[in-house]
Amino acid sequence: MDVTDLKSLSADVRKRMDAAVEHVRRDLAGLRSGRASVTLLDPVQVEAYGTLVPINQVATLSIPEPTVIMAQPFDPSLTSAIERAIQKSPLGLNPASDGKVIRIPVPSLTEERRKELSRLVHRYAEDGRNVVRQVRREVNDRVKKMTKDHEISEDAERRGLDEIQKITDQFIKAIDELQQKKDVELIGR
């Protein structure tokens, strides 16, 4: 294994692990923290024109007040479909429409709900860490197989495994930081 093989391997590892971190980031952004955020509605799918589409493709989302999300449908005939989609979502939100815009109040969280969301934050983070570790395991196995097949030297194997571990540590740390930030947002610890 020469330097270019190691660089392409570490680039592949970074790309795959970065995808895992981004997935965790999106999951955590969708968790309600008591403040209005348009990303809160990311998981909401609206039935429009015979298919399910993300809410941001059928309405303009904005935050007119700190505890209210406003959705203005591009097509007013979709207003009731958007309301239904928000009500059916597991977010626990109760939209109100005046026919033109939908106001979605974001109620403050109870202590019990905060703890429940914190457990969910920890689960999302652990799932992300598991994906990162799985990528490490797969790439380490690939490097070891290359050594076994005499494609690379044992020194190159050792350098490769060390590099993969350093990258893994960076991405695990990034997930830990996302988890801590969301916990502070939810519980304040």
Report all structural domains of the chain as residue ranges with CATH numbers, in order of start: 3-29+110-186 (1.10.132.20), 38-105 (3.30.1360.40)
Report the pLDDT averaged over residues 172-188: 88
Q: How many residues does the chain have?
A: 189
> Three-class SS of residue 90?
coil
The pLDDT, as a whole number, for residue 99 is: 80
pTM higher than the cut 0.75: no
pLDDT in tens, 49-64: 889 999 889 999 988 8
User: How far is Cα 84 from Cα 101, in angstroms, rounded to an integer?
Assistant: 14
Contact between 67 and 60 under an 8 Å Cβ cutoff? The reply is no
Residue that wins the pLDDT comparison between 31 and 177: 177
For the chain, what is the mean pLDDT?
A: 86
User: How far is Cα 186 from Cα 116, in angstroms, rounded to an integer?
Assistant: 10
In sequence order, the 6+-apart residues with CB closer than 8 A to the CB of 167 are: 10, 13, 14, 17, 136
In sequence order, the 6+-apart residues with CB closer than 8 A to the CB of 172 are: 129, 132, 133
